[in-house]
Amino acid sequence: MNETSGTAAAQPTERIPAAERREQILAAASVVFGERGYSGATTDQVAKAAGISQPYVVRMFGTKEKLFLEVLARALDRLIVGFRQIIAEPREPGDDEVELLAARLGAAYVDLIEDRGILLSLMQAFISGHNPVVGAKARAGFLEIYRMLRDEAGFPPDAIREFLADGMLFNTLLAIRLPDIFDEDPDAEELMRCTFRGKLDVVLGATAAEAAEHA
């Protein structure tokens, strides 16, 4: 409340290289698409968040759909590259190799989806199964993660299911903003604690930091 009109735009916008501007737009778009969904988001909201004019956003990406697809591709890429890195890290052999690796991957995942734009862009893709383009990317991305866990990480089926299931529950609880109602309902915190266990501090730290940033 009482902000001075939108997200600081107008004024004689600075001229910056297209590549850099592209990144700004993608970052802004990730947030806006995440909050409002593909259909709910407008190119004007993205433009305002990036501090430029609406036609410029369209000019740079061709169409709103292409912009969304690029946002989604980036999110999937960060996820896949991040996981692959962790799997490739040297580990000592032992009985709990799977468990340790799962814990590391889980922690990395929580770190990643602390970025609400990434979290929600992924979830937007998940519920777009009916869309030929977006749906196909979502399916392909999910299967790539599956294969990585099976072939590169060497997880047995049960470990894969558990890992993916936990991830989807993380997604959901963060997406519905459960931490927002810790004050009103103690069960909210209890459920978060039972779900995230050790990782809860990380999540709450991020949430608090984000809140502070927006204040």
Partner DNA sequence: GTCTATAGTCCGATAGAC
Partner DNA sequence: GTCTATCGGACTATAGAC
160 binds, among a copy of itself, DNA, none (CB under 5 to 8 A by kind): a copy of itself
Binder of residue 104, out of a copy of itself, DNA, none (CB less than 5 to 8 A by kind): none
Among 40, 41, 77, which residue's Cα sits nearest to residue 57? 41
Which residues have a Cβ under 8 Å from the Cβ of 42 and sit 6 or more positions away? 36
Q: Which is nearer to a copy of itself, 61 or 170 (CB)?
A: 170
Q: At what angle do helices 116-126 and 132-147 cross, to 10 degrees?
A: 110
For a copy of itself, what does the binding mask look like between residues 120 and 159, x meaning CB under 8 A?
A: x--xxxxx-xx----x--xx--xx--xx---------xx-
Q: Residue type at 139? A: R
Total of chain residues touching a copy of itself, rule CB under 8 A: 47
DSSP H helices in 41-131: 43-50, 54-61, 64-88, 97-113, 116-126
Residue 59 binds to DNA (criterion: CB under 7 A):
yes
> Residue 195, interface with a copy of itself (CB under 8 A)?
yes
56 binds, options DNA, a copy of itself, none, Cβ within 5 to 8 A by partner type: DNA
